[in-house]
Structure 1
Amino acid sequence: MCASFNNLFSVPTDRERSRALGDTYQLPDSIRRAVTVGINECFLPFPIPNEGDWVTINQERGQTVEAFERTIQTIPHGKVPSLENISEFSSHFFPGCRLETLPQIDFTDLPKNSRMGQRIDTYTKKPQYSATLIIDHLKKMKRRQRKNDTEELFCIGVTMADIYPYSSWNFVYGLASTIDGIAIYSFARLDPSFPDIELVGPCTEQERILILKRAISVFVHEIIHLFGIKHCIYYLCLMNGAETEVEMDGQPLYLCPICLRKMYTATGKDRKIFNPVETYHDILDACQKFHFKDEAAWYENRLNILTTLTNE
């Protein structure tokens, strides 16, 4: 990435995290407990960054729940990871929403101006495609399908091709256009053997699980951005920004209390369908099904804390 080191970032204090979460007194009991009970036992504060980490390169002031609610938009009523598995797991983060897999689009079918975004990456010597031009193409496709606007919240494109957002950037894992409700992300760099994929042997079970976990993490992260939720700097959270694979793998597969409350506002506040305990149970089952052992242990522990304190 072409950027300079940011010496101004400081890890939020307990008081700043509390202010970001906001007043919880008026919340329904289920969401109030999910964002206030046993927090120190389950959620680690955002760590002191190393030089080169996301927050040292990018200006992140943090988005409070109150700020999010002021800007929220009205929402109408081999090695390749399985898109079906990704959709199945990710759907539990968005209660009341249905994820539908659409037909495949071949890059050779894209308009000429979109294909002009192809380049060869200087470091990997592999082809890359412009994420912004792909989003423009998806935007035009969505306009041609206006009849489904009342049902479709967002359109997410996924690809095995490497992508970049701007000419000055080396690459990007994913890119979202919140205003348009469209995002694109790439599986290419989720493989630990990238860019020498052709030179290594078959994928091990451990690598398969890692690639799937990374794919789900990026997929859910990008969709949550489309709801208007920005990067989190308050706790270790699924919505932390990531500049490297090390940062990506250090992110948990769960939302911190502040981002969980934002998703409650975005998806369930009016329809009363957002039940964190039920969501945690569903995600725990999915973690066990796909052999995400550490994540399953976290969700099991979180449920035990919420259940135990409920019964006391």
Structure 2
Amino acid sequence: MTTVAFIKWIGYDQEVLDISLVSFNEIEPHIIYYLKDNLEKIFDTGVNEGPSLNVPKSYNQKRKQYLSWPFLEALSKPKLASQYVLGITEVDLFVPELNFIFGEAAPRLGIAVISLARLHQHFYSLPEDIDILKQRALKEAVHEIGHLLGLNHCKDPKCVMHFSSSLVDTDIKGHRFCSSCQKRYR
């Protein structure tokens, strides 16, 4: 089953499904364009660019990371016509119960955020590879949008909905839903 068929099957009209990308501070344009282009293809829907927002003042000096919920709160404030809003930031995010997160979603609000910080090769003192960064960002974007569509984490390590506890998990999984996730719906 294709993603388009899946979206129709779970009751979403592909003409109604609409996604906005919102960057926190500046994100390299080629990353935004790559995500926009690929999300449009994967979900067969329009993807808009919303206004850029400032990084919320949620920096934790001890952890040297930013608490994620203020990012979600910031995304809920702009009046965007889109059904779903995905924020993108370069800062390292966390929730209190985890060391870090690649992303977080608030499905009831239709908002999610992904962090590119740990998706960069240079975070691990490796030479930067833009293609790898783009692929990782796409996987995390599709994963968080999957949560917005009502999907939970999947046990299949190749499914985009598999929980990534490390970058290895992100690199192993694909950017599409497995057949089991395509069968689940809200």
Q: TM-score range by the shorter chain?
A: 0.7 to 0.9
- Quick check: 2:157–2:173 contact (8 Å CA) kept in 1? no
Aligned partner of residue 253 in structure 1, secondary structure:
coil
- Quick check: 1:238–1:253 contact (8 Å CA) kept in 2? yes
Change (3 A) 1:219 1:260: same
Aligned-pair CA distance for 1:120:
3.2
Q: Identify the structure with the greater helix proportion.
A: 1
Residues 1:157 and 2:87 are matched in the alignment: yes
Aligned-pair CA distance for 1:171:
1.1
- Quick check: 2:159–2:174 contact (8 Å CA) kept in 1? yes
Aligned-pair CA distance for 1:178:
0.5
Residues 1:105 and 2:53 are matched in the alignment: yes
Stretches of structure 2 lacking an aligned partner (at least 5 in a row): 17-26
1:240 to 162, 165, 185: 162
**How far apart, CA to CA, are the structure 2 residues paired with 1:130 and 1:85?**
26
Stretches of 4+ aligned residues off by more than 6 angstroms = 72-76
The root-mean-square deviation of aligned C-alpha atoms, in Å, is: 3.1
1:129 to 66, 90, 93: 66
**How far apart, CA to CA, are the structure 1 residues paired with 2:139 and 2:163?**
12
Q: Identify the structure with the greater strand proportion.
A: 2
Could you tell me the percent identity over the aligned residues? 22
1:126-167 deviations in Å (ceiling 9; x for gaps): x421111111122123xxx27x3xxx211111000111122x
- Quick check: 2:142–2:176 contact (8 Å CA) kept in 1? no
Structure with higher Rg: it is: 1
1:148-203 deviations in Å (ceiling 9; x for gaps): 3xxx211111000111122x42210000001100001100101122065xxx76x3
Aligned-pair CA distance for 1:236:
2.7
What amino acid is aligned across from residue 248 of structure 1 in structure 2?
A: T
1:221-260 map, 5 Å: 221-234=143-156, 236-260=158-182
Aligned-pair CA distance for 1:106:
2.0
Corresponding residue of 2:120: 191
Change (3 A) 1:121 1:89: farther
What amino acid is aligned across from residue 229 of structure 1 in structure 2?
A: L
Stretches of structure 1 lacking an aligned partner (at least 5 in a row): 1-30, 35-64, 267-312
2:76 to 121, 125, 139: 139
Change (3 A) 1:219 1:121: farther
Change (3 A) 1:192 1:131: same
| Aligned length, in residue pairs | 171
Aligned-pair CA distance for 1:214:
0.3
- Quick check: 1:129–1:162 contact (8 Å CA) kept in 2? yes
Aligned partner of residue 112 in structure 2, secondary structure:
strand
What amino acid is aligned across from residue 120 of structure 2 in structure 1?
A: D
Corresponding residue of 1:87: 36
Aligned-pair CA distance for 1:105:
1.2
Corresponding residue of 1:171: 100
Please say which of residues 229-238 and 247-256 is displaced more in the overlay. 229-238
